[in-house]
Amino acid sequence: MSADIIEVSIKGLMPTANGCAVFLGNETKVFVIYVDPSVGSAISMTINGVKKERPLTHDLIGHLLMGLEINLERIIINDVNDGTYFARIIFHMQNELGRKFLELDARPSDSIVLALQQKRPIFVARKVFDVVEDMTEILERVLKQQKEEPKEEGDQ
C-alpha cells in the first residue's frame, strides 16, 4: 500500500449539539470529523451491530452493491478544506467482461458507514493526516467520561 495513505479506524463516537463527532485515527494520532445526526446514528448502529426493521439508505446501497457484484475495496479521506473533509470510495467489479475499478467522490460520513458495513479499510491521505489537529487527549477524556457516566446513574 502506498505511503501516501494511512489506515485509520474509528476510535470513538460522541453526540454533539448538531450531530456526532467521529474520532478516527491510529496509534500515533486521532482526529475528528463532525457528521449529521442521521449518519452518526448509522455509524453507531453499524459499529454496535444493531438490527433494523427496514433497510436504511446505507443498507440499501450495500444491498445494491452486493446484487451487482461490486466490491467496495476501501475508502480514502483524501482532502480537507476549511474543516470540510472530502473522500473517495474505491469499488472493484469483475465479471466475464473483465475487471474494472471505479472511484467515486463521496462525503466521508457516508463512506465511513459503507466501509464499516462492508468491513473494508478506511484510509486517510498523508497530506490530510499531517495537517489535522491531534485529538488524542480529548478522545481519552471523552472515553473516560463515558465510562464514568453509567456508574453515576447506578449510584443514584
Tens of pLDDT, residue by residue over 63-108, are 899 888 899 999 999 999 998 999 999 999 988 888 999 999 999 9
At residue 27, the pLDDT reads 94
At residue 88, the pLDDT reads 97
Q: Which residues contact 93 (CB under 8 A, 6 or more apart)?
A: 68, 69, 70, 71, 99, 100, 101, 102
**In whole angstroms, how far apart are CA 85 and each of 8, 32, 140?**
15, 10, 23
pTM for the predicted model, two decimal places: 0.86
At residue 68, the pLDDT reads 87
Give residue for cell 466501509: 115
Phi/psi at 16 (nearest 5 deg)? Answer: -125, 175
Range with the poorest average pLDDT among 31-35, 91-95, 115-119, 143-147: 143-147
Domains annotated for the chain, with CATH where assigned, are: 5-155 (3.10.690.10)
Distance CA 60, CA 45 (A): 15
